[in-house]
């Protein structure tokens, strides 16, 4: 089939934005490789997305004109930087960070009222993501509010594809990081023993990481962390509120929490998509695509593909975890997955331990987030403390 004859779709249409997940399901069944002006070529099927993930030299991650370490790199360059980054998410680091992470979760849970309706995104999800990320990187509490505002501006600029606004937002973030790095450099041996300081000592290709590389790494971690963790916390809380029997099951057996979280986030993806660019012509899903074509990998569809997940709308704990693309696959599988899983496990454990009932608010409906975000902008829930 000639790519010019491909059916078009509009990712920003009202019908799509009203229920993104349902719209992507429909596209997967009707037109699994589809073109739009906004997202270029979108891949909706699990097999097609997986094929792209395991062919990084054809489906290149070098999609941005800006430095993106290492997510926007291909081998062999990607391999060098990935070697530096992976140890920051080791088992030992996660074990060492767990007490601080749990303390933040407990403090937020203790701030909830004994009973009543709370707007869960602002009361818990967004603050949790901000506070945990700051603690993990060693950033001061004064940076939380600027980062919260920055995250919203970044989302708005990305949604609008406003390049000038995106440039301004990136410049603003870079300014925060440059200041943090300057403080650590001037402190010398007295600099805080945190992850941000550690990056100043890393080397690649026999030389120290330069400032632009460090900023890119920290931007990559922060952009992914703040929006995706907040979205994930909201999605899981919303699902638990709708299924009280699952709440009780997890309270009675907390060892099921990690698998339950992964399955809930398979059903409702916290991250909608990632981008790639073709380095050579390919045929995929009946479409012949030329080198240079831009590709969007639709995680939110691939993880609900009925060809891979039997009864994809059903919550099941017996699925093959290797098929779940929540954290990607291949060489670009999310290096921060251990941290994300730790954070989500802890917040769910503390929520279930300290709130005996979570239910939808009787007189207020959630407000869905829209692309490039997922989850909820507002999530009113009724709670009763344990």
pLDDT in tens, 308-331: 999 999 999 999 999 999 999 999
Long-range contacts made by residues 222-226, C-beta under 8 angstroms, separation at least 24?
Answer: 222/133, 222/137, 222/147, 222/173, 223/154, 224/271, 224/334, 224/336, 225/129, 225/132, 225/133, 225/336, 225/339, 225/340, 226/129, 226/130, 226/133, 226/147, 226/151
pLDDT recorded at residue 1: 43
pLDDT recorded at residue 82: 97
Per-residue pLDDT of 92-117, as tens digits, reads 999 999 999 999 999 999 999 999 99
Beta bridge partners of 193: none
272: Cβ–Cβ under 8 A, 6 or more apart, which residues?
20, 298, 299, 300, 371, 372, 373, 374
Q: Residue 199, Cβ neighbours under 10 Å: how many? A: 21
pLDDT recorded at residue 160: 77
| CB 199, CB 241: distance < 8 Å | no
pLDDT recorded at residue 163: 80
Calculate the CA 72 to chain-centre distance.
Answer: 16
pLDDT recorded at residue 6: 54
What are the structural domains of the chain? 3-385 (1.10.630.10)
State which residues of the chain have pLDDT below 70. Answer: 1-7
Distance CA 56, CA 78 (A): 10
Place of tokens 């952009």: 223
Distance CA 292, CA 160 (A): 23
pTM: 0.95
Q: Residue 5, Cβ neighbours under 10 Å: how many? A: 8
Tell me the H-state helices in 161-210.
Answer: 163-187, 195-199
367: its two tokens: 């407000």
179: Cβ–Cβ under 8 A, 6 or more apart, which residues?
none
pLDDT recorded at residue 155: 77
């Amino acid at each position: 089939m000639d790519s010019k004859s491909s059916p078009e779709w509009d990712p920003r249409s009202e019908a799509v934005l009203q229920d993104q997940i349902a719209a992507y399901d429909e596209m997967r069944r009707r037109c699994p490789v589809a073109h739009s002006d906004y997202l270029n070529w979108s891949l909706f099927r699990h097999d097609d997305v997986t094929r792209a993930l395991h062919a990084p030299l054809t489906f290149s991650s070098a999609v941005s004109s800006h430095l993106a370490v290492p997510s926007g790199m291909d081998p062999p360059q990607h391999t060098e930087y990935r070697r530096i980054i992976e140890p920051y998410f080791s088992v030992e680091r996660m074990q060492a960070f767990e007490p601080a992470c749990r303390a933040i979760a407990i403090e937020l849970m203790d701030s909830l009222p004994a009973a009543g309706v709370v707007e869960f995104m602002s009361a818990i999800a967004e603050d949790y993501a901000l506070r945990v990320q700051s603690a993990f990187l060693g950033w001061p509490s004064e940076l939380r509010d600027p980062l919260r505002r920055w995250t919203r501006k970044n989302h708005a600029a990305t949604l609008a594809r406003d390049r000038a606004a995106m440039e301004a937002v990136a410049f603003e973030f870079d300014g925060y990081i440059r200041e943090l790095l300057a403080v650590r450099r001037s402190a010398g041996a007295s600099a805080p023993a945190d992850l941000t300081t550690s990056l100043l000592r890393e080397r690649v290709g026999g030389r120290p990481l330069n400032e632009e590389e460090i900023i890119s790494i920290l931007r990559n971690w922060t952009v992914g962390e703040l929006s995706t963790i907040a979205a994930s916390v909201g999605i899981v809380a919303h699902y638990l509120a709708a299924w009280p029997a699952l709440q009780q099951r997890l309270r009675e057996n907390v060892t099921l929490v990690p698998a339950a979280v992964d399955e809930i986030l398979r059903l409702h993806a916290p991250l909608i998509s990632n981008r790639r660019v073709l380095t050579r012509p390919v045929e995929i899903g009946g479409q012949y695509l030329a080198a240079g074509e831009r590709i969007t990998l639709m995680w939110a569809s691939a993880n609900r593909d009925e060809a891979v997940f039997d009864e994809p709308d059903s919550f099941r704990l017996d699925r093959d975890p290797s098929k779940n693309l929540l954290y990607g696959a291949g060489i670009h599988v999310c290096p921060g997955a251990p941290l994300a899983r730790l954070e989500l496990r802890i917040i769910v454990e503390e929520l279930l331990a300290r709130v005996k009932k979570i239910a939808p608010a009787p007189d207020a409906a959630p407000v869905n987030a829209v692309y490039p975000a997922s989850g909820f902008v507002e999530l009113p829930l009724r709670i009763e403390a344990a």
